[in-house]
Amino acid sequence: MSTFAKSVSIIVPTRNEAENVAMLVAQIVSSAVPFHEILFVDHDSTDGTCDVIRSLMVNHPIRLIKTTESLDWHPRSCWAQEQRRESYYSSWMRT
């Protein structure tokens, strides 16, 4: 498997998706597509979504970014991608 294939991050914006995230992770993991991580970007869930995601982090390459920031001005998917980009660059650009 190429290094490039394992460098893919799957970004999943969530809000109150506790009943769906475990099934989604199972589908991603069982797919034939190699990936580096699943990055959940949660926007102020109140139904335990983050707790479910944290429980899945034990056995899968998952990261979680939580926000309560207003997304009215910005589509979630674009905001999630920006958070991923900032997270990636901050991890290797620290001095």
Q: What is the model's pLDDT at position 45? A: 93
Contact 23, 53 (CB under 8 A): no
| Segment 22-35, tens digit of pLDDT | 999 999 999 878 88
Mean pLDDT in residue range 15-44: 92
Mean pLDDT in residue range 50-64: 96
Contact 52, 14 (CB under 8 A): no
DSSP class of 39: E
Q: Is the pLDDT of residue 95 over 50?
A: no
Structure tokens at 45: 């869930």
Mean pLDDT in residue range 14-22: 95
Domain residue ranges in the chain: 5-92
Q: Is the pLDDT of residue 90 over 80?
A: no
pTM of the model: 0.70
Q: Which residue has the higher pLDDT, 52 or 80?
A: 52
Domain 5-92 has CATH 3.90.550.10: yes
Question: What is the average pLDDT score of the chain?
Answer: 80
Phi and psi, residue 44, nearest 5°: 55, 45
